[in-house]
Amino acid sequence: MTLLWLRFAVLLYGVAALAVLPAALYDRPRWTHFAVPATVAAVLFHFVSFAETLYAAHHRLPVETHEVQSLLALILALGFLAVYAWYRNVSLGIFVLPIVFMLATLAAFRPGQETFSAPIRTGWILFHIVLLLAAYAALVVSMFASLLYLIQERRLKSKSTSHRWLSPLDTPLETIDQIAHKTLLFGLPCMTAGLLIGSVIAQADFGAKYFSDPKILLTFGLWIAYVAMIFIRRASGLRGRRAVYLSSFVILVVLFVWAANQFSAVHRFSTP
């Protein structure tokens, strides 16, 4: 039952990590009512699992690596809840909750424990791939929308009629900017869910060495760049040429990550 409680906590941490995104980045405060209760429930299940683990091991302090990882995840989750209780702000959860999820996953799906059955595993791998491809597609659409914004802005400023061949693409600048921004908002939850699912599967198959692969760390760096891009756009009202540069930079990171993963010795999911 110890692992069952912990794996249920991992599931709830994943829900909270996804729910905190619209609450903190998209001005959707209602999602806080999902993120915070999910974290509270996860902490309760996590605490029960941790206490049972120590009791079964006949020691009062964490000794094994998975016990330390579990305790660290629990402390971070409690820290997030303490910050929320004091400041009524969930922004810290954007970064803390995914880390809690990863640490709890390392403890819950450590080597030597049962893993996914073949059909279930294949389905989750497919879901993982589809979500990441959707995130990459959203990035590409956002970049092209930003390019179109730049072209339209230049035409309006110059009041030139020499580019009549572009007239079928005439769209209000505000509409183009909304397309670029909303596709980013769509892609971030897809990328977050895809990475969380992939992390659980990989941890069950490879153990902690999966997270030591530089190419995997680069992928999580891409996620951080994605969050930073959305934050910068919201905080500074970034649009036009600078938005194109920012989107292009993240697209280059995506291509680099994609190429790097092809040479990864760890990032391989064999078919059953």
DSSP string, 38-75: HHHHHHHHHHHHHHHHHHHHT-SS--SHHHHHHHHHHH
Per-residue model confidence (pLDDT) at position 212: 67
Q: Residue 55's domain spans which residues?
A: 1-108
Q: What is the pLDDT of residues 219-244, one digit of tens each?
A: 788 888 888 878 777 766 666 667 67
Final residue belonging to a domain, choices 76, 108, 140: 108
The verdict on 55 and 85 lying in the same domain is: yes
CA distance 21 to 91: 8
Is residue 75 in some structural domain?
yes
Backbone φ, ψ for residue 61 (5° rounding): -115, 150
Is residue 145 in some structural domain?
yes
Per-residue model confidence (pLDDT) at position 240: 62
The verdict on 60 and 155 lying in the same domain is: no
The verdict on 138 and 212 lying in the same domain is: yes
Whether 267 has a pLDDT exceeding 60, the answer reads no
- The distance in angstroms from the start CA to the end CA of the chain is 28
The verdict on 88 and 148 lying in the same domain is: no
pLDDT band of residue 271 (cuts 50, 70, 90) is very low
The verdict on 59 and 178 lying in the same domain is: no
CA distance 171 to 148: 9
The verdict on 124 and 102 lying in the same domain is: no
The verdict on 123 and 76 lying in the same domain is: no
The verdict on 51 and 177 lying in the same domain is: no
Q: Is the dihedral of CA 46, 52, 57, 62 positive or negative?
A: positive
Is residue 113 in some structural domain?
no
Looking at residues 128-142, what average pLDDT do you find?
A: 84
Q: What is the pLDDT of residues 152-207, one digit of tens each?
A: 777 776 665 545 444 445 567 677 777 877 888 888 889 889 888 888 877 766 66
Number of domains in the chain: 2
Final residue belonging to a domain, choices 77, 108, 139: 108
Per-residue model confidence (pLDDT) at position 241: 67
pLDDT band of residue 209 (cuts 50, 70, 90) is low
Q: What is the dihedral of CA 64, 70, 74, 75, to 10 degrees?
A: 40
Angle in degrees, CA 105, 187, 262, rounded to 5: 65
Is residue 218 in some structural domain?
yes
CA distance 45 to 98: 17
Per-residue model confidence (pLDDT) at position 59: 76
pTM of the model: 0.73
Per-residue model confidence (pLDDT) at position 119: 58
Per-residue model confidence (pLDDT) at position 20: 92
Final residue belonging to a domain, choices 53, 76, 108: 108
The verdict on 264 and 180 lying in the same domain is: yes
